[in-house]
Amino acid sequence: MPELDSVGELVEPVLVAAFEGWNDAGEAAGTVVEHLMTAWGADELLTLEPDDYYDFQVARPRTSVVNGEHGGITWPTTRISIARPAGGGCDVVLVSGSEPNMRWRGFAGDLLAVARELGVRRVVLLGALLADVPHTRPVPISGVTSPKHLLSTLHLEPAGYEGPTGIIGVLQDTFASAGMETVSLWAAVPHYVAQPPSPKATLALLRGVEDVLDVTVPLGDLIEEARAWEHGVDELASEDEDIAGYVRSLEEAKDAAELPEATGEAIAREFERYLKRRGRG
């Protein structure tokens, strides 16, 4: 384990992690961490040893050759960076990389050891899944928390699932078992537009991160990219009668499931978020 003494004392550090691969439909979650690294000017702290956790025949290293000259090898790995958001009440430990191929329990133990040494008290894990949801409606975000009361505190819809899991599920269990507050946020990406990017889902996850961390994140061009994405999918759907009919059926099912009370609560939460961010600006 690398020495972390040079980091200095962090302010109420929170760890935010996402991984490319099985946990990340449309690359929505991984893009959140990339966005946070850029928006907050994060500094890389360390990388985990790739030989311990990656099968290089599955997650192959990348090479570059320019004008016949070898430019080096980039190995798949997990990167840990530190961000100090201006005006925020916490520092953020950002974890990104490809989902490891092997030794998941050892991998989770290494991240837990880093989190403990940095003084992390809360962990936010990000994922995205394919689902039968219409692209024209707000992206559903569901949550898994430990302790359970965080679901209501953070106004999250509880996730329901039983089956195979990825590294996000393993880390949720590892951090929660260690007594850390742990929140997993999952965005539902329409399965008929699964190819990346998925800026609307990325934006929804970023809003979730804002709420959990109680900070404001600079969004850059993401709002416009999300609108352009939705408009582009609208145009594609309009060219295919079968897809257009399927989208309408998803919209009808979604709207029928939304009770007026639930819709009112959602509007109230969004207004509360707006007032909080406006007051801070």
Burial 23-41 (b: 16+ CB within 10 A, else e): bbbbbbbbbbbbbbbebbe
Tens digit of each residue's pLDDT (9 = 90 or more) over 185-200: 999 999 999 899 999 9
pLDDT > 70? residue 271: no
Identify whether residues 93 and 156 lie together within a single domain: yes
pLDDT > 60? residue 2:
no
pLDDT digits (tens, 9 = 90+) for 35-48: 999 999 999 999 99
Q: What are phi and psi of 44, to 5 degrees?
A: -70, 130
pTM for the predicted model, two decimal places = 0.88
- DSSP conformation letters of 86-143: TT-SS-EEEEEEBPPSS-HHHHHHHHHHHHHHHT--EEEEEEEEEES--TTSPPPEEE
Q: Would 100 be classed as within a structural domain?
A: yes
For 121, the domain range is 4-220
266 plus 202 within the same structural domain: no
Q: Any idea what the CATH number is for the domain that residue 35 is in?
A: 3.40.50.10900
Question: Does the residue 229 lie in any domain?
Answer: no
Considering the chain, what is the average pLDDT of its residues?
89
Higher pLDDT, 263 or 153: 153
CA distances from 4 to 45, 65, 149, 173, 201 (A): 8, 35, 32, 24, 34
Same domain, 163 and 56: yes
Supply 194's token pair: 């699964």
Whether 8 and 94 map to the same domain: the answer is: yes
Query: What is the tally of structural domains in the chain?
Result: 2
Q: pLDDT, tens digit, for every residue of 207-230?
A: 999 999 999 899 999 999 999 999
| Residue of 166, 167, 170, 172 whose CA lies nearest to 145 | 172
Tokens of 214: 């109680």
Q: Say which amino acid occupies 30.
A: G
